[in-house]
Amino acid sequence: MKTKTVQGYLADIANKRFLPVRMLIREGKIEKVESITQPEDDIYILPGLVDSHIHIESSMMSPQQFSSIAMAHGTIATVSDPHEIANVLGVAGIEFMVRDGNQSPLKFHFGVPSCVPSTPFETAGAIIDSQAIGELIGDDRFKYLAEMMNFPGVINQDEEVMRKLQLARDYGKPVDGHAPGVRGEDLSKYVAAGISTDHECHDYEEALEKIRAGMTIQIREGSAARDFDALYPLIDQYPDQVMLCSDDRHPNDLIRGHIDELIRKGLKYGLNFFNLLQAATWNPVRHYGLDVGLLQEGDPADYILVGDPDSFEIRGVYIEGQQVYDQEKVLYEPLPDEKPNVMNPRHLMPEDFKVKARSNRVRVIHAIDNQLFTSSSWETLADEEGLLQSDTEKDVLKIAVVNRYQPQLPSVGFIRNFGLKKGAIATSIAHDSHNLLVVGVDDNSIAEAIRLLREQKGGIVVYNGSQGAGLPLEIAGLMTHRPGREVAHRYEQLTEEARVLGCTLDAPFMTLSFMALPVIPELKITDQGLFDVNTFQYTSLFADE
pLDDT of residue 1: 54
pLDDT of residue 208: 98
Q: If 0-12 CB within 10 Å is exposed, 13-18 middle and 19+ buried, where does residue 285 land?
A: buried
Within 350-457, residue ranges assigned H as helices are 443-455
| Rounded distance between C-alpha atoms, residue 305 and residue 95, angstroms | 33
| Rounded distance between C-alpha atoms, residue 54 and residue 108, angstroms | 10
User: Position 380: which residue type?
Assistant: T
User: Position 309: which residue type?
Assistant: P
Within 281-427, residue ranges assigned H as helices are 282-288
Element (H, E) at 252: helix 251-256
The contacts of residue 270 (CB under 8 Å, 6+ apart) are none
Residue (of 45, 103, 53) closest to 74 by Cα position = 45
Helix (H, G, I), strand (E, B) or coil at 309: coil
Element (H, E) at 245: strand 242-245
Element (H, E) at 62: none
* DSSP bridge pairs for 217: 198, 242
Element (H, E) at 208: helix 204-212
Residue (of 402, 405, 352, 395) closest to 528 by Cα position = 402
| Rounded distance between C-alpha atoms, residue 66 and residue 74, angstroms | 13
| Rounded distance between C-alpha atoms, residue 246 and residue 79, angstroms | 11
| Rounded distance between C-alpha atoms, residue 457 and residue 342, angstroms | 8
pLDDT of residue 293: 97
pLDDT of residue 440: 98
For the chain, list the domains and their CATH numbers: 45-288 (3.20.20.140), 350-538 (no CATH)
Residue 65 in contact with residue 481, Cβ under 8 Å? yes
Show the 3-state SS of 472-536: ECCECCCEECCCHHHHHHHHHHHHHHHHHCCCCCCCHHHHHHCCCCCCCCCEEEECCEEEECCCC
| Rounded distance between C-alpha atoms, residue 438 and residue 22, angstroms | 57
Residue 169 in contact with residue 144, Cβ under 8 Å? no
| Rounded distance between C-alpha atoms, residue 130 and residue 185, angstroms | 26
| Rounded distance between C-alpha atoms, residue 236 and residue 543, angstroms | 48
CA 335 centroid distance within chain? 24
pLDDT of residue 157: 95
Q: What global pTM score does this model have?
A: 0.92
| Rounded distance between C-alpha atoms, residue 199 and residue 192, angstroms | 18
Other Cβ atoms within 10 Å of 204 Cβ, number: 15
Give me the sheet containing 242-245, strands edge to edge. Answer: 197-198, 216-220, 242-245
- Helices and strands counted in the chain (H then E): 17, 28
The contacts of residue 275 (CB under 8 Å, 6+ apart) are 235, 236, 239
The DSSP output letter for 158 is -
What is the full per-residue pLDDT of the chain (545 aa) written as tens digits? 578 999 999 999 999 999 999 999 999 999 999 999 999 888 999 999 999 999 999 999 999 999 999 999 999 999 999 999 999 999 999 999 999 999 999 999 999 999 998 778 999 999 999 999 999 999 999 999 999 988 889 999 999 999 999 999 999 999 999 998 999 999 999 999 999 999 999 899 999 999 999 999 999 998 777 899 999 999 999 999 999 999 989 899 999 999 999 999 999 999 999 999 999 999 999 999 999 999 999 999 999 999 999 999 999 999 999 999 998 899 998 987 899 999 999 999 999 999 999 999 999 999 998 778 899 999 999 999 999 999 999 999 999 999 999 999 999 999 999 999 999 999 999 988 999 999 999 999 999 999 999 999 999 999 999 999 999 999 999 999 999 999 999 999 999 999 999 999 988 998 999 999 888 889 999 999 999 998 889 999 998 76
Distances (CA, A) of 131 to 128, 151, 164: 8, 20, 9
Q: What size, in residues, is the chain?
A: 545
Omega of the bond leading into 522 within 30 degrees of 0 (cis): yes
pLDDT of residue 277: 98
Residue (of 536, 538, 535, 533) closest to 521 by Cα position = 533
φ, ψ at 434 (rounded to 5°):
60, 45
